[in-house]
Structure 1
Amino acid sequence: MEVKIGVQHAPREIVLESGQSAEEVEKAIADALAGTSQLLSLTDEKGRKVLVPADKIAYVELGEPAVRRVGFGAL
């Protein structure tokens, strides 16, 4: 699923494709914003970790889970 994270005082947003489920991503975001965790920690599809300080998060946008398409046909 595509995740976009806006960071305060940063001109660009962080965009990553996460292999985690939507529920796992939402729980991690909720924990960070509620103060349970000081960092928002997400893992992308290649296994890299993205850590964002919870107090610097401006917004988080969750996209739909990516469906892998095979072939060259246009749908």
Structure 2
Amino acid sequence: MTEILVPQGQWEPDQEAALATWLYEEGEAVQAGVTVAEIMVEKTSFEIAAPASGTLCIAVAEDEIVVPGQVVGSIK
């Protein structure tokens, strides 16, 4: 299993970030490098790419607050 992490160092640590949307559904197959989710910080979005190929497992729901380095899902 490979963890999907919120990117670090792309915004100020005191800014609130939310997992805006998952671009794939739980259980769908994804390929390494494809964008699987987007993080929204103020009016800017950041992409989260799949770190490996496999089946997507979602751990954090859309619109939940996230912090840099947090595990939001995994690839099995």
Which TM-score bucket, shorter chain as reference?
Answer: 0.3 to 0.5
Structure with a larger share of its residues in helix: 1
Task: Compare CA radii of gyration and give the structure with the larger one.
Answer: 1
Length-normalised TM-score, structure 1: 0.37
Structure with a larger share of its residues in strand: 2
The higher-RCO structure (CA 8 Å, 6+ apart) is: 2
